[in-house]
Structure 1
Amino acid sequence: MSIPAAHGLLRVVLPVPLRREFDYLCPLPLPARGCRVRVPFGSRTMVALVLDHPDHSGVERDKLKPVTGRLDEHPVLQEQELRLLDWAAQYYLHAPGEVYFQALPTLLRKGEAASYRSIDYWHRLASQETVALRAVKQRQALALLEPGPLTAGELEARGIGTAVLRALADKGLLEKREQLPATRDWRHQIAIAHQDKPRLSTEQALAVSCIAQADGFSPFLLEGITGSGKTEVYLQAMEPVLAAGRQVLVLVPEIGLTPQTIARFERRFQVPVSTLHSGMSERERLDAWLSCRDGTAAIVIGTRSALLTPFRELGLVIIDEEHDGSFKQQDGFRYHARDLALLRARQLAIPIVLGSATPSFESLHNATSGKYRLLTLSQRPGSATLAEHRLLDSKHVQLHAGLSPQLLQLMEQELAGGNQVMLFLNRRGYAPVLLCHDCGWLADCERCDAHYTWHKGQSRLHCHHCEHQRPVPPQCPHCGSRQLLGTGLGTEQVEQALAGLFPQYGIIRIDRDNTRRKGSFQQHLEGIRTGRYQILLGTQMLAKGHHFPDVTLVAMLDVDGALFASDFRATERFAQLYIQVAGRAGRASKPGRVVLQTHHPDHALLQDLANQGYRHFALGALQERRQAGLPPFSFQALFRAQATKAQYCQDFLLQLTQQLMPTLPGEVRSLGPFSAQMERKAGQYRYQLLLQAGNRRELARACRQALAIIDTLAAARRVRWSLDIDPVELW
């Protein structure tokens, strides 16, 4: 069709789960590719992103609607980001609108202007410098503000809450002023704190040199044992990039890891550092996003979604703990930040560093096959030594809240020497099951195929799968007995036992239950570092990336279940967790010990990890994967379906399988449909169909055929279904 002379044609994407683009009429001159417009869509008006100015449309002229407004004079996404997102939509076979809008902060998705808003900064008042303060936090706040003003969010990231700031304001020591964020040009004012730079080991110096001399796209795998100084390699590799006026993106797996990382980077480089993570407010996220785009942020530290942020001139990408599963989005647009980061680095022709003590099998395979340059850090710097590993046989041993007499004796020895002890148990609550001692009734979640976890302190039953909670019943609902007992082990129970066994020592429990309040996690970590707590008990939150120089004993409790999981990736995840937890011991000058309590001390995996280390285990496991034809030696796609009735899922996936199978090339195999390991979760039955092939193109072609079939299936309307390319876990 032809378009009226006064109008042009726009092709846009909308944040809707449809795998297509949409055409609209727009008065001339047309907004550029990457700009936002408002358009009518059904009964709503929505924000759309312009992708193209086509000459013709497949829609009849009288059915085309005009845009209702323009939101941007200049594109919010530049060509390099648009190319990345276009590739991602095609590779992950996801609705393009949802992919493109994933790269925009929430406020931009809502149609807000892509501009900074004035924010409140706290200023220290110089006239009151001599006032003596008894409150430690108030003194810390004044010290932090001495170099210059900071926002409440920046202060909170350093453990200073709003109440502390208000108290200081009431005393006339601080003042809150509204101003635009600082946008100084850091490119000509880079200062490096050389006094903070330690002397590099030979391995570290070689790694820094290799990264600094990289020309164009150069992927590196930095495999360094825990405590070997990977962060120092990152810092020194960043120097020439920043000196050239280019930005650096550092991806980290956990929000909780960012404050200590930020502090270290800010000490080294006097340049603007921005953070991007889901814990920020919508306004904070937009301002940080704009600072990346405009180039006023020199270093950007963020979690998964920070990868999709536009940069003015990105010069280096670093992915810390690249093996971590949190880099894979598990709902909506199911991308893997590590894999997209590699593509982005290739498109920009810049180096990318993947760092880990326990590299993913995919990255290790790419390094050993020559696709990545492998850099190794096998020693801890200075006087720090590798921890001694020990397996404690807990068979035929009387355990006290999961603690064996041998472990308690080791704890007493370390604590008496003025050291800290860390206990790892990846199960929160008091007990994972509440049962009736008289009739055997179990407190099961009504919405999941799972038991409630008993949280004794709150007198609540909590399903950690669907988050449903209910009070603990006063008696058994089946037989009326009051003999309700907890079975199994949780962090709350171990904490209670430790308080009785070691009353003279400070004990801190760190899990999701006692770190919900904003800033509490950082306060707990500060208490550990200052020696307030001698016994540290926690879940995975405590195991990742933290440096506690006084921890000399690390013990893992009740982990045998991970040795016999059905997922083929379970052993890889367990090995990574074991090494990461073990890495908290002996990180400074004090020697460390790692103890694992197990009923299976002769298990081959435990023996391999304790005696040979992660690399030996991983290379052996990779050979097993090769023989079995499993990733990374093949490629997978997973169709998932969930519904209120199991039959709906079964009908949908069976119909899909029956129509898809005759069209599949011989290289593509299918497995299923089969139910999830937990078939019912949050009231939804869950089933899945797995496709596997040795060739990515054949697998992608099969998935496109499957999507075309799904569009014709009436059964698809009774389920919620999704497609996960390169899944990292099954349901």
Structure 2
Amino acid sequence: MYIIEVVVPIRFKNNFYYLYNIKNSIPKIGVRVKVPFRKHFLIGIILNYWSRKKYNSFFIKKYNLRDVSTLIDNDSLYGINLWNLMKWYSCYAKLDFRKIVLDILPSHFIKDVFIKNKKYFYWNITDAGKKYLYLKNKFGKNQLYALSILTQQSIYYKELKYFKIKNSVLLSLAMKGLCKLDHCKNNQHRHVHIVLKNFKYLGKKCLKFITMLLRQQDYSKPFYFTNINILQKLDFYTFLFCHYFNNGLTILLLVPSIETSFVYNLISLFRKNYNINIELYDNKISIQKKISVWNYSNSLGPKIIIATKIGIFLPLRSLGLIIIYQDYSMLNNPLQNKFIFNEVQVALQRSKQEKIPLIFTSSSLSLFCKKKILDRSYKQIKFNYLLENNYNKQNKINIQNNIFDFTYGRSIGIYSINLIKKINYHINNKSSVLLILEEKNNFFKVLKCNNCLQFFRCIYCNQYYKFHNYYNELMCCYCLKTIHVPEYCNYCGFFSYSTSFFDMRIAKEYMNEVFPHVPIVELSNKTTFTKMKYFFNSDYYLHFNTSTIILSYANYANKYFIKDVSLIAFLSIDKYLYANNFRSLEQFGKLYQSILFSLGHNNLNLEVIVQSSKTNSLLFALLEKGYDFFLKLLLNFRKKYKLPPFTYHIVLWFHSSIFQTITLFITYFNDYFYNNLIVLLPQLIIIGPDPIKKLKYKNTYYSKILFSYTSLQRLHFVLNILYKKIQSKKIFEKIIFLYDMHHSDN
């Protein structure tokens, strides 16, 4: 008999203890059990266990320990490696270990819901079939072909098309008792030896260098591959996948988003050429799919899994390689996620624990990674140096950059007259045009009536007025005439109005007026792969028969492979130049570089146009001298003013459903905690607390405090003291604290 410690999915902060009286079984850590809780039954996970001999019967009667109802799992859901990784991260990020254990699992694992296991069918040969195989006269050609394959390996039901075997042929053999149909719970792919094919975009010199890297036994430093094209990246990933899959190891690829052309191209490539299914894992997929991928990753055998950042916490057995696909992505509010974690730091720790290589691939380096390369903590490998000279000369992209100023000359909405001339020139040459728009363009606002929902237009040219909030004026960008904001609407006479951004609908309307016969395609959060399937070819490239105008938001421009694009135009970058955030220019540099590498494969002559009302020396350096020179200038600027990556930022987020508790913590922090922390570290910079805000669609209030210091270890030491002092106060029990430990990496 044992006493077990169980975590249950309820709001109580303490764990619960039960008696384990199941015959012929020893409790295991990470196993689900059904336990009584008040008048109901809940599903919990075992965190620890002790023998009952250590405790008296008085102890059991005093705390009224109840028996476990049923044991659900025989083996742990997590595994030893993942359990140790979660323990490390809970200590490192000051997170509750119980919260990580419950939040990582798919939600139906800890709910009292019946999970229907999907059955996977496969054909097997019987002993009678092996005997009658030599009697060739009794069988037809198709039956002999099916039996000869079944002697070598079993065939899954979905693999019949790949082997070109009809189901009716196997049914006729099953009637004679020569083969049978079996089923299994997990989709366990058998070990297939992949025959490596020619890699068009790598070359012999590159393949030799990669194989030499993989043979090394020292994986203390991760490898960082830069200056890599999308087509080179596809060949590079397929080579790595095949190499580790043949050795019976699992490969994990972390990507910013699953719904991209790059991911779907990889999946289709492995299905067609090698008949291997690649599993996808993300928070957006269905719960049944999450459960099947979780069970599949916990099974034996080689696997290929593509996932977003949450996939780093999958219970992968025999993990051989972790690849991180780093690309431009906008920052999100961390309170929208279950808990805050940095996938790069967790991947580094997992590679050290399991002694496996970690590979980064990126077309646009971040400043944090650039400094790590300069400090020699990352090994940088420039991909263009590994390729042959002939290939580099043939695929060199010629880029022509231009900057158009808004303040001079006329414009139609957000489009300057010079830009419209350029679009017309490229459309006449039968090529596509990509126009990148910001989701919330604060520098071009329009006025709208609240009654009839009509926008205010110019009397002379019927263009939208640009609204200036400071002067309370409306300006026509085409006529260059300004008027005061009218007291009532010209259409319905209503007196109330509101402002709205220059969004995708207005941008599309302007383009339809200027180019009525040219098709316009929209790339935004509304567009999905099902809507765009008519434009995809076999390799998941967006291919248009005629010259088209593609309007896209910044987040969705590099998600797709687009063919025949000769002009890229950033319609307004004032958001990056006027922003209070010091990382804004770095974000634009990443966006610019990632789009060039995603679209540079299809056309060797690209023209890039940037529209702005203000010029900048760093912007000129990016467009004229390249991204590497731009990063060097930014590093010198950050070093001068002691900004990340030369200092470290840690953000403390705190939220609660009660407004008064947060205000009480803010006053307590300003009066007591602030002075004590500065005494410990005199050079510590504390910014905040920020004004209290409310989350959308949730009754939770939140705020944040930023801590900055030159040494990360000293900053961790100070925050440990703060964490212990907060826990000692019972007033702050209803506040949830989250530490963003690597805020400077993003």
Give the structure-2-normalised TM-score.
Answer: 0.75
* Aligned residues of 1:653 and 1:688 also touching (Cα < 8 A): no
| Matched AA of 1:53 | Y
Change (3 A) 1:645 1:102: closer
* Aligned residues of 1:424 and 1:556 also touching (Cα < 8 A): yes
Q: Distance in 2 between matches of 1:256 and 1:267?
A: 20
Match of 2:353 among 347, 362, 365: 347
Match of 2:216 among 191, 214, 217: 214
SS of the equivalent of 2:291 reads helix
Aligned position for 2:531:
520
Aligned position for 2:714:
698
Structure 1 residues without counterparts, runs of 5 or longer:
1-6, 122-126, 128-142, 150-176, 444-453, 455-474
Change (3 A) 1:532 1:482: farther
Superposed displacement of residue 506, structure 1 = 1.8
Superposed displacement of residue 49, structure 1 = 2.1
* Aligned residues of 1:420 and 1:553 also touching (Cα < 8 A): yes
SS of the equivalent of 1:674 reads coil
Q: Distance in 1 between matches of 2:40 and 2:586?
A: 47
| Matched AA of 1:11 | E
Match of 1:286 among 287, 291, 297: 291
Aligned position for 1:251:
254
Aligned position for 2:226:
223
| Matched AA of 2:435 | L
1:363 equivalent in alignment to 2:369? yes
* Aligned residues of 2:270 and 2:277 also touching (Cα < 8 A): no
Q: Which moved more, 1:639-648 or 1:586-595?
A: 639-648
Aligned position for 2:138:
none
* Aligned residues of 2:302 and 2:318 also touching (Cα < 8 A): no
Aligned position for 1:187:
191
* Aligned residues of 1:668 and 1:691 also touching (Cα < 8 A): no
Structure 2 residues without counterparts, runs of 5 or longer:
123-141, 143-157, 165-180, 386-390, 456-466, 468-487
Superposed displacement of residue 210, structure 1 = 5.0
* Aligned residues of 1:322 and 1:354 also touching (Cα < 8 A): no
Aligned position for 1:96:
97
Q: Deviations over 1:127-173 (max 9, x none)?
A: 9xxxxxxxxxxxxxxx9994389xxxxxxxxxxxxxxxxxxxxxxxx
Change (3 A) 1:42 1:376: farther
* Aligned residues of 2:542 and 2:561 also touching (Cα < 8 A): no
* Aligned residues of 1:222 and 1:230 also touching (Cα < 8 A): no
Q: Distance in 1 between matches of 2:561 and 2:568?
A: 13
Q: How does 1:583-602 map to 2 (within 5 A)?
A: 583-600=597-614, 602=615
Q: How does 1:175-574 map to 2 (within 5 A)?
A: 183=187, 185-192=189-196, 194=197, 197-200=199-202, 204-205=206-207, 208-209=210-211, 211-217=213-219, 218-224=221-227, 226-227=229-230, 229-257=232-260, 258-267=263-272, 269-295=274-300, 298-321=303-326, 324=329, 330=335, 331-378=337-384, 382-427=394-439, 435=447, 481=494, 488-515=501-528, 519-522=530-533, 528-531=542-545, 534-574=548-588
SS of the equivalent of 1:147 reads helix
1:635 equivalent in alignment to 2:648? yes
* Aligned residues of 1:430 and 1:490 also touching (Cα < 8 A): no
Change (3 A) 1:254 1:436: closer
Aligned position for 1:576:
590
Q: Distance in 1 between matches of 2:59 and 2:445?
A: 62
| Matched AA of 2:314 | T
CA RMSD of aligned residues (A): 4.1
* Aligned residues of 1:650 and 1:687 also touching (Cα < 8 A): no
SS of the equivalent of 1:187 reads coil
| Matched AA of 2:530 | G
Superposed displacement of residue 404, structure 1 = 1.2
Q: Distance in 2 between matches of 1:634 and 1:42?
A: 51
Superposed displacement of residue 690, structure 1 = 1.6
| Matched AA of 1:519 | T
Q: How does 1:63-142 map to 2 (within 5 A)?
A: 63=63, 64-110=65-111, 116-118=117-119
Q: Distance in 2 between matches of 1:498 and 1:652?
A: 52
* Aligned residues of 1:204 and 1:229 also touching (Cα < 8 A): no
- From the CA coordinates, give the structure whose radius of gyration is larger: 2
Change (3 A) 1:200 1:24: same
| Matched AA of 1:655 | Y
* Aligned residues of 1:251 and 1:306 also touching (Cα < 8 A): yes
| Matched AA of 2:404 | L
Identity of aligned residues (%): 18
Aligned position for 2:162:
147
Superposed displacement of residue 268, structure 1 = 5.1
SS of the equivalent of 2:33 reads strand
Q: How does 1:665-684 map to 2 (within 5 A)?
A: 665-666=680-681, 669-675=684-690
Superposed displacement of residue 73, structure 1 = 1.0
Superposed displacement of residue 414, structure 1 = 1.5
Aligned position for 1:612:
625
Give the structure-1-normalised TM-score.
Answer: 0.77
1:688 equivalent in alignment to 2:688? no
Aligned position for 2:461:
none
Aligned position for 1:13:
7
| Matched AA of 2:47 | L
Superposed displacement of residue 209, structure 1 = 3.8
Q: Distance in 2 between matches of 1:429 and 1:395?
A: 17
| Matched AA of 1:238 | F
* Aligned residues of 2:27 and 2:49 also touching (Cα < 8 A): no
SS of the equivalent of 1:38 reads strand
* Aligned residues of 2:120 and 2:186 also touching (Cα < 8 A): no
Q: Deviations over 1:8-47 (max 9, x none)?
A: 1223334456776544332254321221123345665433
Q: Distance in 2 between matches of 1:203 and 1:627?
A: 41
Aligned position for 2:19:
25
* Aligned residues of 2:448 and 2:454 also touching (Cα < 8 A): yes
Superposed displacement of residue 198, structure 1 = 0.7
Q: Distance in 1 between matches of 2:236 and 2:382?
A: 11
Change (3 A) 1:324 1:261: farther
Q: Which moved more, 1:566-575 or 1:621-630?
A: 621-630
Change (3 A) 1:564 1:60: farther
Q: Distance in 1 between matches of 2:332 and 2:497?
A: 41
| Matched AA of 1:618 | L
Q: Distance in 2 between matches of 1:437 and 1:184?
A: 60
